[in-house]
Amino acid sequence: MASEIFSKVKSEGGSSESGSSESGADERGGNNDAFEYFGWVYHLGVNSIGHEYCHLRFLYIRGKYMEMYKRDPHENPGTKPIRRGVINHTLMVEEVGRRRVNHGDVFVLRFYNRLDESKRGEIACASSGEVRKWMEAFDRAKQQADYDLSRGQSTRDKLKLESEINLSGHRPRVRRYAHGLKQLIRIGQGPEKLLRQASKLSNSESEVYYEADGADVIEAHQWKCVRTLDGVRIFEDMANKKTGKGVLVKAVAVVEASADTVFDVLLSLDRRRRYEWDTLTGDVELIESLDGHCDVVYGTLDLRKLSWWQSKRDFVFSRRWFHGQDGTYTILHFPTEYKKRPPKSGYRRIKMIACSWEISNISTSSSLNPARCLVTLILEIRSKGWFKWKNNEFSKFERTLPFGMLSQVAGLKEYIGANPALTMESSAVVVHSKTSGVSMSSTELEDAMGSDEFYDAIGAADSSSSDDDSDDEVSSKQDSKVKLKNVSWAIASLALKRTSAPDTSKELNPDVPPLTLDPSQFHGTMRHGKGEGDSDCWSSPSGSGFMIRGKTYLKDSTKVTGGEPLLKLIAVDWFKVDECITNVALHPKCLVQSEAGKKIPFILVINLMVPAKPNYSLVLYYAADRPVNKDSLLGKFINGTDSFRDSRFKLIPSIIEGYWMVKRAVGTKACLLGKAVTCKYLRQDNFLEIDVDIGSSSVARGVIGLVLGYVTSLVVDLAILIEAKEEAELPEYILGTVRLNRVKVDSAVSLEG
């Protein structure tokens, strides 16, 4: 019953700014009234007597302050918050994924302090799209907190932000435990307290800027449109046409709905819904949820619809999904074996074809235009009938499983087009301009908050019992202006011819003679490669395979190809450890502590901590041949705050060679690592070490687990850079690169104490 209610209630929320990573300090300003976010969420946790709860709460964020209410304060003036606190700049926000609560699916956000991970809390939203908007809201609040701190607040205010609290404590409500227990039971018995109230994220600013960025990597695929099918374009990858391993094909369609809406439709296993668009895998059911971003699905298939002589089949496949920082969804389908679910009587078990769905929003020129997204389905076809079919010749290909999968895109497009109610969620990408009637001055908020941190409001258990929240939907009218940055085809093609080389005189001291850096003089545990065909080694490619921000990026979003890296990669260590290690540069056997290492003007140490059994650490050593200018962007990054580093440290991945499904999982978009995973920094002497905890994110753990399964056949390129956000910092330059050639997991060396 609860799941039915969940699927019927529509999202009517406004959105936060999607371009938060582009906001500089000047754009944020020091006024706490600059932006406001509010909406309905679920507060998840465990109360003081050990019972789990899921309470519908109204969350309100303004500046760096957060308040939680039982009722909407806009509709109920005078309502007092039940929790309030300051969002500290050390707050980390992790998208946990989907979770089953009271027979309904919600999407969970987890919060923790990167300095003390025991301080944590959780909220949940009705959809993945709302989770992304709340993440942007908290990111803005963190930026505000960091900005206020950098503006030279008083010592009292700084201590307020840094004060530690006891998150394990519960609010003393002993007399109401019995009533609260009754409430918990009532929540679990029915859907009345778990209605799918959509988050109404509102922002007091009237404009939001969206970017039409493409991939940050120059892909090797050469897609050619070979046919159209019911308004869907069918492409073939011409680059891998002669490999003999099958043909990579994709179906592409523009769908008149937001990416959030399409993602929800694709992920839903509701039979009645799938019967309306999925002619192939309509009869599916969930058999196991592995984590918030991965599950196992069982289904049946009557292949007599495709060919009269084929019998009934059943299948099992796993789904893993990701939500990129640019808002793009990726859903991977892998065939899998599941011994707990043997073939159904009268059915034969078949192996489904691996495929990937990618859903990305298309920017519109006006807020009056409906939301649209680009839906892409990619799969590998080995059928001989494909070549005749693509040339419009009669072929039996239309009676094959791959054709049925390609047809899913057309079915999805038509289903959403025939159900206008689904597209109501499209308004969620528009900013609602509204002045709140419950606003308080900055002084009033600071006095009200005292020394409480955000975790006082979200981390401690909520044992309140008089939950009189209304189950009515919260609606709002959207009225906004949207400004877009358009990139013409001419500019896009010209960008490939341009390169962005670092201005070494700007970043490094030109008055000091450069030091000769020869990688053969430095030794790491991973071998330096001798050629393209070499394996289990590293090399340092140029930056020409990566797209980075050009000089005019803030005006027209133009990206150019990268040039030679500013820093030189001199060594790579590949360690295996029982527990993840940090502060590698302080180890006595580390390259940084050697006599040759101490003579280098500056070394950037990047420790990529890979979660596995055992754990691994890939340590990259980048050296500067001259001292770094303190006033340069690199100098500010080296000596800046952790919050500044988190907002600027960017990595661009690229799978040069390997299984195409791994390529789709890793993607081609740049990632701000400090926002995706936990990064810790160590600045001493002539080095800066960045410890990147990949295991701190469930999404990153899923991707790295997939990569490790194919790592011996992969050639991976990585580029690191500092994101430029102001005109004076443009164009961007590549800080360093590394190519990992078919790395063997067993070659990792134990790090001795």
Cβ atoms of residues 661 and 334 within 8 Å: yes
Q: Given this model, what pLDDT does residue 532 score?
A: 81
Q: How many CB atoms lie within 10 A of CB 549?
A: 24
- 174-to-47, 83, 177, 219, 355 alpha-carbon distances in Å: 12, 18, 6, 61, 54
Model confidence at 74, pLDDT cuts 50, 70, 90, reads confident
Q: What's the pLDDT tens digit per position in 609-660? A: 999 989 999 999 999 999 999 999 999 999 999 989 999 999 999 999 999 9
Alpha carbons 620 and 570: distance in angstroms, whole number: 8
Q: What's the pLDDT tens digit per position in 234-251? A: 999 988 765 557 899 999
Alpha carbons 478 and 42: distance in angstroms, whole number: 23
Q: Which residue has the higher pLDDT, 154 or 416?
A: 416
CA 5: distance to chain centroid?
A: 28
E strands within 22-170?
A: 36-46, 52-62, 65-69, 83-86, 91-101, 104-113, 116-125
Q: Which residue has the higher pLDDT, 35 or 441?
A: 35
Q: For residue 240, how many C-alpha atoms fall within 13 Å in the half-sphere facing its CB?
A: 21
Q: How many CB atoms lie within 10 A of CB 628?
A: 24
The DSSP string of 564-588 is S-SSEEEEEEEEEESS----GGGST
Strand partners, 313: 301, 348
Domains belonging to the chain, first-starting first, are 36-150 (2.30.29.30), 223-389+397-425 (3.30.530.20), 507-750 (no CATH)
Q: Given this model, what pLDDT does residue 742 score?
A: 95
Q: Decide: helix, strand or coil at residue 394.
A: coil
CA 730: distance to chain centroid?
A: 25
Q: Averaged over 369-392, what is the pLDDT?
A: 86
Bond from prior residue into 731 cis (ω within 30 degrees of 0):
yes
Q: Averaged over 434-457, what is the pLDDT?
A: 45
CA 382: distance to chain centroid?
A: 33
Q: Which residue has the higher pLDDT, 457 or 118?
A: 118
Nearest to 328 by CA among 670, 677, 697, 660: 670
Alpha carbons 97 and 113: distance in angstroms, whole number: 19
- 512-to-591, 624, 684 alpha-carbon distances in Å: 23, 12, 21
Model confidence at 546, pLDDT cuts 50, 70, 90, reads very high
Model confidence at 152, pLDDT cuts 50, 70, 90, reads low
Q: DSSP code of 157? A: H
Cβ atoms of residues 57 and 42 within 8 Å: yes
Q: Which residue has the higher pLDDT, 35 or 373?
A: 373
Average pLDDT, rounded, for the chain: 77
Alpha carbons 664 and 357: distance in angstroms, whole number: 9
Q: What's the pLDDT tens digit per position in 290-335? A: 888 999 999 988 666 555 456 788 999 999 998 888 889 999 999 9
Q: Given this model, what pLDDT does residue 204 score?
A: 39
Alpha carbons 495 and 490: distance in angstroms, whole number: 9
Least confident of 25-34, 139-148, 617-626: 25-34
The per-residue b/e assignment along 179-206, b for 16 or more CB within 10 angstroms, e otherwise, is: ebeebbeebbeebebbbbbbbbbbbbee
Nearest to 501 by CA among 562, 569, 554, 568: 562
Q: Given this model, what pLDDT does residue 753 score?
A: 55
CA 244: distance to chain centroid?
A: 35
Q: Where are the alpha helices (DSSP H) in 660-752?
A: 660-666, 673-676, 698-710
Task: Return the residue matching tokens 């041949």.
Answer: 625
Model confidence at 118, pLDDT cuts 50, 70, 90, reads confident
Alpha carbons 184 and 427: distance in angstroms, whole number: 34
Q: What percent of the chain lies above the pLDDT cut of 70? A: 74
Q: Which residue has the higher pLDDT, 104 or 463?
A: 104
Alpha carbons 328 and 105: distance in angstroms, whole number: 21
pTM of the predicted structure, to 2 decimals: 0.72
Q: Given this model, what pLDDT does residue 630 score?
A: 93
Q: Which residue has the higher pLDDT, 180 or 269?
A: 269
Alpha carbons 185 and 53: distance in angstroms, whole number: 9
User: 746 Cβ partners below 8 Å, 6+ apart?
Assistant: none
Alpha carbons 543 and 713: distance in angstroms, whole number: 22
Q: Given this model, what pLDDT does residue 65 score?
A: 86
User: Does residue 426 surpass a pLDDT of 90?
Assistant: no
User: Does residue 589 surpass a pLDDT of 70?
Assistant: yes
Model confidence at 367, pLDDT cuts 50, 70, 90, reads low
CA 462: distance to chain centroid?
A: 29
- 169-to-338, 350, 458 alpha-carbon distances in Å: 43, 53, 12
Least confident of 317-321, 502-506, 516-520: 502-506
The torsion defined by the Cα of 591, 596, 601 and 604, in degrees rounded to 10, comes to -10
Question: What sign results for the dihedral spanned by CA atoms 273, 296, 333, 315?
Answer: negative
